[in-house]
Amino acid sequence: MMIERPFADLDSWVAYFSQAELPVLRHTVLELEKMRANAVNADGRLLSAVILQDPLMTLRVLAFLEQHRGKSQNADITTIGRALMMIGVDPFFSAFENLPLVEEQLKDHPKALLGLLKVISRTRKAAHWARDWAISRHDLNAEEITVATLLYDLAEIMMWCFAPSLALKVIALLAEDPARRSSDAQKEVYGLRLGELKHGLIHAWRLPQLLADLVDDKHAEQPRVLNVLLAVNLARHSAKGWDNAALPDDFRAIESLLHIQHDALLAKLEIDLPTSPPGSPH
């Protein structure tokens, strides 16, 4: 059942979403079915690659693991690779059958489906950059950075899935007034800011504290958190092209994080821009 009017408070939103059956992308299900048919040759690496293309599937796997956490499991599982090792390939296929599809859930809301797919595309791009930068920084676990980046916008993704009409209202408000802050439009339509909802859901789903910290902007002084945040910001600001006024600041922050020059960053991003954007000190 779709949400047509905002709930009264954060707790009500969290209660609804934390009990909801999460849909996944049709492409994910098709890829998993191919692997299921050849399960003898399926391995965790290939499964991880499929799962990490879909933030909703990533979330389902992590939430499933926490729901079935054994008493002997002392350490948090923060990567999909490790999660699949804990679950096992055959049990994974048994546990994730007949998954609901995003495309079916939003079949009567084509504009919302398009909005959701844009967010997921943006999220994938951010996760790709975040992983690349983590490897460049010699991060000890780049997949944790990847997973955190995929989950950063989980609250927005949930709104598109379950409150499509409200999500479209937010987009309309921002289109009417491009100077309006996204968080203010969210507060007006949803009655809360999506950052609040994100942290409420992470707690409700009992996701690892490490992932909660990695998606918390309050810890942006930490390089790993900054890695995630800068990838998310770059994906947002470049979503409609490389002429966004916020991009020069993004570039400078990324260059500082990675200790590289501007032209080296552009090469890493595989984009063709002037080597000295407006306001750049390079």
Could you tell me the domains of the chain?
A: 10-102 (no CATH), 103-269 (1.10.3210.10)
| Nearest-angstrom CA–CA distance, 274 and 188 | 39
| Nearest-angstrom CA–CA distance, 120 and 231 | 14
User: Digits of tens for pLDDT over the chain (282 positions)?
Assistant: 899 999 999 999 999 999 999 999 999 999 999 998 887 677 888 999 999 999 999 999 999 998 887 666 678 899 999 999 999 988 999 999 999 999 999 999 999 999 999 999 999 999 999 999 999 999 999 999 999 999 999 999 999 999 999 999 999 999 999 889 999 999 999 999 999 999 999 999 999 999 999 999 999 999 999 999 999 999 999 999 999 999 999 999 999 999 999 999 999 998 876 555 444 444
Q: Is the pTM of this model over 0.85?
A: yes
Which of helix, strand or coil describes residue 20? coil
Instruction: Kindly tell me the sign of the dihedral angle through the C-alpha atoms of 69, 70, 75, 80.
Output: negative
Give the Cβ contact number of residue 100 at 10 Å: 15
Please name which of 6, 29, 18 lies closest in space to residue 154, comparing C-alpha atoms.
Answer: 18
| Nearest-angstrom CA–CA distance, 35 and 78 | 23
Residues 6+ apart with CB under 8 A from 128: none
Residues 6+ apart with CB under 8 A from 43: 89
Contact 225, 214 (CB under 8 A): yes
Contact 45, 52 (CB under 8 A): no
